[in-house]
Chains A and B, each alone.
Chain A
Amino acid sequence: MRWLKSVSNRLRSLFRKSAVEQETVQELQFHLERQIATGIAAGLSPEEARRTGLLDFGGVEQFKEECREARGVNRIESLLADLRYGFRTLRKSPGFAIVSVLTLALGIGANSAIFSMVNALLLRPYNFRNLDSLIRVWEDRGIDEGYDARYIAPADAEDLHSTNGIFEGMTTYSFQSFGLGTEGDVQPILGCRVSANFFDVLAVSPAAGRLFTATEEQPGADQVAILSFGSWQRRFGDDPQVLGKTISLNGRVYTIVAIMPKDFDYPVPVELWVPLALTPAEKADRSQLSLNALARLKTGVSVSQARAELASFSHRLELEYPMTNAGRATTLLQLRKELYMFTLPLFLLLQAAAGFVLLLACANLANLVFARMIGRQREIALRAALGAGRGRLGQLFVSEALVYSTAAGVVAIATSFANVRALRTSIPVSWTKWVPGWDGIRVDGNVLVFTILATLGVGIFLGLVTILHTSRVEPNKTLKETGTGTVTPAKRRVRSALVVAQVMIALILLVCAGQTIQGLVRLASAYQGFETASVLRAEISLPQKIYSDNVKITNFYQQVLRGAASLPGVQHASLVTDPPASNVDNETTFFSIEGRPALKASEAPSADLQIASPDFFGTLKISSVGGRAFSDADSAGAARVAIISRGMAARFWPKDDALGRRIKLGAQDSSEPWLTIVGVVSDVRQNWWNPITRPVIYKPFAQSPQRSMTLLLRATSNPTSCASAVRDVVQQIDSGIALRGVNTLEEEVADSIAIVRIMGILMGIFGLLALALSSIGVYGVLSESVAQRTHEIGIRLALGANPRDLMSLILAQALKLTGIGLAIAVPCAIAISRAMASLIFGVVSLDFSILGGFTALLLFVALGAGYLPARRAIGVDPVVSLRYE
């Protein structure tokens, strides 16, 4: 309570100043009167008593001042005065003010923009309760094929669920494409089959309706569905009576029991969730890794504890079921980490880069302030002469710097709303919908607090640097000097240190930016194995009612292919189930190899399945490695054939030729036909996040027709020009069929890597900013130091010095400072590059041409920064420069 009184006293002294002053006067007056009265009582005359009393009392003003000091008013008042002074200097030199405020605002703004991304995407991508306790669990067979290929066998999942003591809950799910029956039509949609406790484990409840019950996990009782909010809006027009209505999925009737909240889109944005009803046989299966698993750790169970528990669990299973489980390791990863495995290091790198840009901005501003301080030396000396101590001067500088940084912070906050909105909307929604939390990028409390802290930090930092620069004011010397003042060696050292630091930061930042961008370019070309240029893509989906059998489907698509191929400007026309860069992974299938029964079911090989028309490989220019491509002869009635990827051939037929071998989708004894391998084509990386290219089996379209296909056209020129012609072709065959998702493949690829691309662009911007800021900084310091040597240069010239020697003298100084900076920065940059190489995608690597190039660039900048002012100084007539002061 004491501090409360203290604060209220202080506030009263501050804001009711005249009343408090008045009281002090009255109090002292009262004391004086009593003293006089005592004198009179002692026998003095009133006049005598008054005189001795006043003499005794001493200086009233001095006491008043001391009382003010005691009340602690002075400190606050002087701070206010300093702040007012800061504002006045800001207004007095608007040019300096605008430059410095904008420089700082740029630095602060960059940081808060990046922080808003980090805040939304990393700190809380999902609004799940206690996100850190959610983990993904899967069985690793030694080949991790990426986060969308992490599965567990149903029986193993069941065992794990029932036996372990580390999970509060565990649930399984799997994706499924459904044909959603609408009036007279069937539309393909993406759904998710989930265990009944799926939503309980995630701790989410529906916006309306009820969750699945355990009985609905039984086959036959599972015809209930939960809609996603988006699906409810799009397909049911926000119908409030939708609960209890029925829909048709794959020809079965499902009852809608709930709608999920708007922001719920786990695991990915799907249209609906249905119960995962496995038959007893499916449940008992240990051979096929077919389910995704998600678990919530019990409170108090650490990730490493859980990892150890899972290791012993898989060991038990290995012993118990060696046929199926040998070589499988049950693995886990925190959900948060799995989501941001690729982007987390990039985000941190971006935040660090933004921090460096802010540092450079601060260094530049410090330079500007120093230059002004030299002009203010006499003012400061005068203040010191009038009794301002170092603390008092420090307070002055910090308050001035705070005024600038606060102005910059205000600008940064004011513009941050628009900046962050631009950042959020700069990436096409088609891609960002896969990034949980992207819509949450906005300026919220965290971002504001971050910005304010950054602003205060910058102000205090700048003020302290200024104190460092003006330490040891010697009023006696300074006030006696004439002219613009001098720069002591100590001050020159501070400024030289700034140049060194700036060059250092700039090189590190440029190398990081260069390598990140190089890495992203490599990422863009990660879609190896095909050519994106001049390819148009369009999705076609045939209604089940009209196209009820394979003959009708095949006929339709053959007409489309014929019509499209005969269009002017079209070289190739083909169909495929999953075009590259779709951001959806291909359907994975298990297969068996003839004459080579799998020793263990867990070794059943799997591959991506693609169905393609004959000209597919020509359209995407996927080169042939051996054998032949599909032809029209591979018709429905002909011998069943398949083409496989090079990687698949190398993995499963490492020693002998794959051509002519026969494979079968599914198990050896399944009713699927044997497929003869007739060709091997080069590997295609389907989506950029796949760490490795996966084995692919291509089947000819005519032998397994599908209703939903993607049409691919390779044009001789701009592929968008033939879009309308293709539309006409399709319309002529069946006017009821519309093309969807018409786009060039190049744009699809660009969209799919948009999130990493924008990071590359941001890194590039930071790199350029770093270059610009450090160039300005180095130029500023060097030109300033040359200007101060104008007098000396004049003397040297007058004494007959060679201008070329003088020039090299000045350039040597510039190179010395830059050289020191670079010498420190190069090993740092190498170390950081090494660290980055292991962090980001594995595509960033230490590149000496980048390092060498930027080092040379900075040296060049330093030479220019030294050359321009030096030429000016040397060009001046000695007569003029000798008078220069």
Chain B
Amino acid sequence: MSKPTDLVQGTLDLLILKTIALESMHGWAIAQRIRQVSKDVLQVNQGALYPALHRLEQQGWIEAEWGESENNRRAKYYSLTKSGKKYLQSEQANWERLAAAIGLVLKTA
């Protein structure tokens, strides 16, 4: 299982923000979605997920709301705030620039 330290700093934050960009989700669903989309490559451990969610909430990028889950249980749903959306855009652009740069180095060097 991938610990957050295995990922580049801030990558998990980016993944979470991107995942809930379309609709609000609870923690479990976020972990599942990241796993499915990454074709089981990225498995987010709850030990990293929840502190990250709480930190993002504290920083004001996301906000939480209690709601009914699909099996009629109370669950905490996270969604992006306005500033979180902007933050996601800039972070995504940054990431793409960085990934492209690393790709270039790996191909040519």
Question: Using a CB–CB distance below 8 Å, which chain A residues touch chain B?
Answer: 1-3, 5-6, 9-10, 13, 23-24, 26-28, 30-31, 33-35, 37, 57-58, 62-63, 66-67, 69-72
17 intermolecular pairs with C-beta atoms under 8 Å apart: A1-B83, A5-B63, A9-B60, A23-B66, A24-B50, A26-B74, A30-B73, A30-B74, A30-B75, A31-B27, A37-B71, A58-B45, A58-B46, A58-B47, A63-B46, A63-B51, A71-B58
Instruction: Tell whether A63 pairs with B50 under 8 Å between CB atoms, given A30-B74, A33-B73.
Output: yes
Residues of B within 8 A of A1 (CB): 60, 83
Tell me if A31 and B46 are in contact (CB < 8 A). Answer: yes
Instruction: Tell whether A23 pairs with B76 under 8 Å between CB atoms, given A5-B81, A6-B58, A30-B69.
Output: yes
State whether the Cβ of B57 lies closer than 8 Å to any Cβ in chain A. Answer: yes
CA distance A223 to B12 in the complex (A): 89
- B49 CB to nearest chain A CB (Å): 8
By beta carbon, the residue of chain A nearest B27 is: A31
The 9 residue pairs across chains A and B that have the minimum distance between CB atoms: A70-B55, A2-B60, A66-B51, A70-B54, A70-B51, A34-B28, A5-B60, A67-B54, A6-B60
Q: Pick the contact of A71: B55, B66, B76, B81 (CB < 8 A).
A: B55
Tell me if A66 and B58 are in contact (CB < 8 A). Answer: no
State whether the Cβ of B38 lies closer than 8 Å to any Cβ in chain A. Answer: no
Question: Using a CB–CB distance below 8 Å, which chain B residues touch chain A?
Answer: 26-28, 45-47, 50-55, 57-61, 63, 66, 69, 71, 73-76, 81, 83
Tell me if B28 and A31 are in contact (CB < 8 A). Answer: yes
By beta carbon, the residue of chain B nearest A32 is: B46
- B9 CB to nearest chain A CB (Å): 15
Residues of B within 8 A of A57 (CB): 46
Instruction: Tell whether A27 pairs with B50 under 8 Å between CB atoms, given A1-B83, A2-B83, A34-B28.
Output: yes
- A542 CB to nearest chain B CB (Å): 85
Residues of A within 8 A of B66 (CB): 23
Tell me if A70 and B83 are in contact (CB < 8 A). Answer: no
CA distance A69 to B52 in the complex (A): 10
Residues of A within 8 A of B51 (CB): 63, 66-67, 69-70
Residues of A within 8 A of B28 (CB): 30-31, 34-35
Among the interface residues A5, A62, A71, which one has the most CB atoms of the partner chain B within 10 A?
A: A5
- B88 CB to nearest chain A CB (Å): 14
Tell me if B46 and A28 are in contact (CB < 8 A). Answer: yes
Instruction: Tell whether A28 pairs with B50 under 8 Å between CB atoms, given A1-B83, A2-B83, A5-B81.
Output: yes
Given contacts A10-B58, A31-B28, A63-B46, 15 further A-B contacts (CB under 8 A): A1-B60, A3-B60, A5-B60, A26-B76, A27-B76, A28-B50, A30-B27, A30-B28, A30-B75, A30-B76, A31-B46, A37-B71, A58-B46, A70-B55, A71-B55
Tell me if A62 and B27 are in contact (CB < 8 A). Answer: no
- B18 CB to nearest chain A CB (Å): 19
- A77 CB to nearest chain B CB (Å): 14
CA distance A291 to B61 in the complex (A): 72
- B77 CB to nearest chain A CB (Å): 11
CA distance A5 to B59 in the complex (A): 8
- A605 CB to nearest chain B CB (Å): 81
Residues of B within 8 A of A70 (CB): 51-55, 58
- A32 CB to nearest chain B CB (Å): 9
Instruction: Tell whether A9 pairs with B46 under 8 Å between CB atoms, given A2-B83, A30-B26, A67-B51.
Output: no
Residues of B within 8 A of A24 (CB): 50, 54
Residues of B within 8 A of A34 (CB): 28
CA distance A24 to B55 in the complex (A): 13
Tell me if A9 and B58 are in contact (CB < 8 A). Answer: yes
Residues of A within 8 A of B53 (CB): 70
Residues of A within 8 A of B59 (CB): 2, 6
Among the interface residues A1, A3, A27, A63, which one has the most CB atoms of the partner chain B within 10 A?
A: A27
Tell me if B47 and A66 are in contact (CB < 8 A). Answer: yes
Instruction: Tell whether A9 pairs with B83 under 8 Å between CB atoms, given A62-B47, A63-B46.
Output: no
By beta carbon, the residue of chain A nearest B87 is: A2
Residues of A within 8 A of B26 (CB): 27, 30
Tell me if A9 and B50 are in contact (CB < 8 A). Answer: no
CA distance A37 to B57 in the complex (A): 28
CA distance A28 to B31 in the complex (A): 13
Residues of B within 8 A of A63 (CB): 46-47, 50-51
Residues of B within 8 A of A27 (CB): 26-27, 50, 75-76
- B40 CB to nearest chain A CB (Å): 14
Residues of B within 8 A of A37 (CB): 71
Residues of A within 8 A of B58 (CB): 6, 9-10, 13, 70-72
Residues of A within 8 A of B57 (CB): 9, 71
- B51 CB to nearest chain A CB (Å): 4
CA distance A30 to B74 in the complex (A): 8
Among the interface residues A2, A6, A34, A66, which one has the most CB atoms of the partner chain B within 10 A?
A: A34
CA distance A35 to B46 in the complex (A): 11
CA distance A628 to B89 in the complex (A): 102
Residues of B within 8 A of A13 (CB): 58
Among the interface residues A24, A58, A70, which one has the most CB atoms of the partner chain B within 10 A?
A: A70
Residues of A within 8 A of B73 (CB): 30, 33
- A60 CB to nearest chain B CB (Å): 10
CA distance A27 to B28 in the complex (A): 9
CA distance A3 to B81 in the complex (A): 13
CA distance A69 to B55 in the complex (A): 8
CA distance A808 to B61 in the complex (A): 70
Residues of B within 8 A of A67 (CB): 50-51, 54
By beta carbon, the residue of chain A nearest B1 is: A56
- A499 CB to nearest chain B CB (Å): 47
Residues of A within 8 A of B63 (CB): 5
CA distance A608 to B51 in the complex (A): 87
By beta carbon, the residue of chain A nearest B66 is: A23
CA distance A62 to B83 in the complex (A): 30
- A529 CB to nearest chain B CB (Å): 78
CA distance A57 to B48 in the complex (A): 11
Residues of B within 8 A of A72 (CB): 58
By beta carbon, the residue of chain B nearest A5 is: B60
CA distance A582 to B83 in the complex (A): 73
- A256 CB to nearest chain B CB (Å): 67
- A199 CB to nearest chain B CB (Å): 56
CA distance A9 to B57 in the complex (A): 8
CA distance A1 to B63 in the complex (A): 13
- B73 CB to nearest chain A CB (Å): 6
CA distance A491 to B76 in the complex (A): 53
- A70 CB to nearest chain B CB (Å): 4
- B68 CB to nearest chain A CB (Å): 12
- B72 CB to nearest chain A CB (Å): 12
- A540 CB to nearest chain B CB (Å): 82
CA distance A2 to B61 in the complex (A): 8
Residues of B within 8 A of A3 (CB): 60
By beta carbon, the residue of chain A nearest B84 is: A2
Among the interface residues A1, A3, A33, A63, which one has the most CB atoms of the partner chain B within 10 A?
A: A63
By beta carbon, the residue of chain A nearest B59 is: A6
CA distance A31 to B28 in the complex (A): 6
- B61 CB to nearest chain A CB (Å): 8
CA distance A28 to B63 in the complex (A): 17
CA distance A57 to B31 in the complex (A): 13
Among the interface residues B58, B69, B73, which one has the most CB atoms of the partner chain A within 10 A?
A: B58
CA distance A741 to B71 in the complex (A): 99
Residues of B within 8 A of A26 (CB): 74, 76
Residues of A within 8 A of B76 (CB): 23, 26-27, 30
CA distance A33 to B71 in the complex (A): 11
Residues of B within 8 A of A33 (CB): 73
- B17 CB to nearest chain A CB (Å): 14
Among the interface residues B50, B54, B57, B58, which one has the most CB atoms of the partner chain A within 10 A?
A: B54
By beta carbon, the residue of chain B nearest A6 is: B60
CA distance A35 to B83 in the complex (A): 32
CA distance A324 to B61 in the complex (A): 80
By beta carbon, the residue of chain B nearest A26 is: B74
Tell me if A71 and B60 are in contact (CB < 8 A). Answer: no
Instruction: Tell whether A71 pairs with B74 under 8 Å between CB atoms, given A30-B28, A30-B69.
Output: no
Residues of A within 8 A of B71 (CB): 37
